[in-house]
Amino acid sequence: MLPSASSYDELCSRFRWQVPAHYNIGVDVCDKWADDPERIALIHRQAGGGLRRYSFLELKRLSNRLANVLAAQGLDRDDRVAILLPQAPETAIAHIATYKLGTIAVPLFTLFGPEALEYRLGHSGAKALITDQAGLEKVAGLRDRLPELKTLLSIDGGPALDFHGELERASDGFTPYDTAAEDPALIIYTSGTTGPPKGALHAHRVLLGHLPGVEMPQDLFPQAGDLFWTPADWAWIGGLLDVLLPSLHHGVPVLVHRFAKFDPEEAFAILAEFGVRNAFMPPTALKMMRGVERPRDRWDFALRSIGSGGETLGAELLSWGRETFGLTVNEFYGQTECNLIVSNASKVLPVRDGSMGRAVPGHELAVLDDEGRPLPAGEPGVVAVKRPDPVMFLEYWRDPEATAAKFAGDWLLTGDRARRDAEGYFWFEGREDDVITSGGYRIGPGEIEDCLIKHPAVAMAAAVGVPDPLRGERVKAFLVLRPGYQAGDALAAEVQAFVKTRLAAHEYPREVAFVDGLPMTTTGKIIRRELRDPPQ
């Protein structure tokens, strides 16, 4: 963890990585705290209003039972275990058990539709799926196309093994696999930008690599009395590795509550009711909360730190945060392949509104030109991170060509453009690729376009991000129709519903334009920048 320091320079000079040769995430976030039976790991605010607390000892026993269940089903080292669940205690138990068994977790977003799930389950070669009834319904028609998927467990019924029943019958004695820090632990699928989504394979060390980037924006987390919460789903790297696992690593309890649909007033109520001290709030959540009238008069909340990332906050939102919470919301930056590498930390680093912050201690960053050469201060280029780095991914699953293309020598290329000023602050300028950042989600156009052209009316499709005052960007689709179809509002609504039900609610195009053709390069690639910013 980060050392105590009164300045950013002192923080950097005193920091050293401590990554052991052998390390297991499941043991680290659970078993090491289990000697104290009273130490609380999870506080579950249930949908019906009930409350259930889980100690670290309970998590140890339950995850051991699940590891034994999975082993009895034939799961072995490096087999993939997909986890299709919302924020819930069972989600944490599933992750911990998967890591202890030496298998590889594949978190999946509950809003994914059948096509998105089929691709990820098939591409990862998942042998087991832990889900609920809603998830079972989505995969019911996919089983014959997923020959490697043999085991299904459900936490709430349906045609699958009973998660809780199996745990009751299993032993809570289990010897965790002695994983090396470099052994694979997790596949998180990125947004598909120039094709289908890629599976970023991470080693067990990825949690240790995240710690300084969590502690910095959370103002030198942990401190006495801390309690962490995020409305972000644990299927994404922001919920899982920015909140859940780092908090448990430090023995700090996590509040478990996921909105079916984010409610800004209820968010304030939750912060007050549970005395939340630390939060990761995506920018869209903060923008929605900004619309709530007189929050300080209506709720007695007292946060110590708030981190936010996914898109630039801007001076206005930062000013509102200071007025509302009495603190500076610390913006940070990273991506699925190499997360939490730039951050603000108002307690030790003067925050410059609009800047992503400075390099998190332990990470060597540069801004490179098109030839892979570091640029001087003030000149824009591609943000790059030097390997080796504990937070950096191992490879793209089953995609050596894409893995090689991600690097220029020893520099991992983020694909995002920024400039670094003379004092080391990074200022985001745009993306080299065409990722759409909407509501804190990074959405790749490739997967959306692939879904769009499956509609019988669509001959060609392009998806881009256009400015949106609430979400940062919204998805806009440009469609070339097949002969015999008539453009209009009815067809636009039909296409929107088509994507929404097959991919995910956050990925469907909120705006549809019908065009006669799409701008293309000579090699047939869509020139999306001309759709985002048409020539005058």
Question: Nearest-CA neighbor of 73 among 81, 84, 62?
Answer: 81
Q: Contact 61/281 with Cβ under 8 angstroms? A: no
Distance CA 417, CA 381 (A): 5
- DSSP state letter for 311: S
For 239, half-sphere exposure in the C-beta direction (CA atoms, 13 angstrom radius) is 24
C-beta atoms surrounding 489 within 10 Å: 8
Those residues whose C-beta lies under 8 Å from the C-beta of residue 349, and which sit 6 or more positions away, are 7, 8, 357, 358
Distance CA 365, CA 126 (A): 35
Give me the helices (H) in 107-195, please.
114-124, 133-139, 163-169
* Residue 118 DSSP SS3: helix
Residue 193: predicted pLDDT? 47
Q: Contact 48/63 with Cβ under 8 angstroms? A: no
Complete domains list, the chain, with CATH: 1-15+205-363+388-398 (3.40.50.12780), 24-204 (3.40.50.12780), 436-532 (3.30.300.30)
Over the chain (536 residues), the average pLDDT of each successive run of 10 is 91 96 98 97 91 98 98 98 97 98 97 94 98 97 96 96 98 98 97 75 98 97 97 94 98 93 94 98 90 96 95 87 97 96 96 95 96 94 97 98 96 94 92 80 82 91 92 94 96 96 90 93 70 77
**Which DSSP string do the residues of 80-103 spell out, in sequence order?**
EEEEE--SSHHHHHHHHHHHHTT-
Question: Nearest-CA neighbor of 331 among 438, 323, 321, 391?
Answer: 321
Q: Is 78 exposed, middle or buried (0-12, 13-18, 19+ CB in 10 A)?
A: exposed
Question: Nearest-CA neighbor of 386 among 376, 399, 372, 398?
Answer: 372
Residue 499: predicted pLDDT? 94
Residue 535: predicted pLDDT? 67
The bridge status of strand 254-256 relative to strand 40-45 is parallel
Distance CA 175, CA 87 (A): 27
Residue 521: predicted pLDDT? 60
- Between the alpha carbon of residue 138 and those of residues 121, 131, 309, the distances in Å are 12, 10, 30
Q: What is the pTM of this model?
A: 0.90
How big is the CA angle at 329 (ends 323 and 332), to the nearest 5 degrees? 160
Q: Is 365 left (phi over 0), alpha (psi -120 to 50) or beta?
A: beta
Residue 524: predicted pLDDT? 61
Cis peptide before 400 (omega within 30 of 0): no
Residue 401: predicted pLDDT? 96
Q: Contact 80/104 with Cβ under 8 angstroms? A: yes
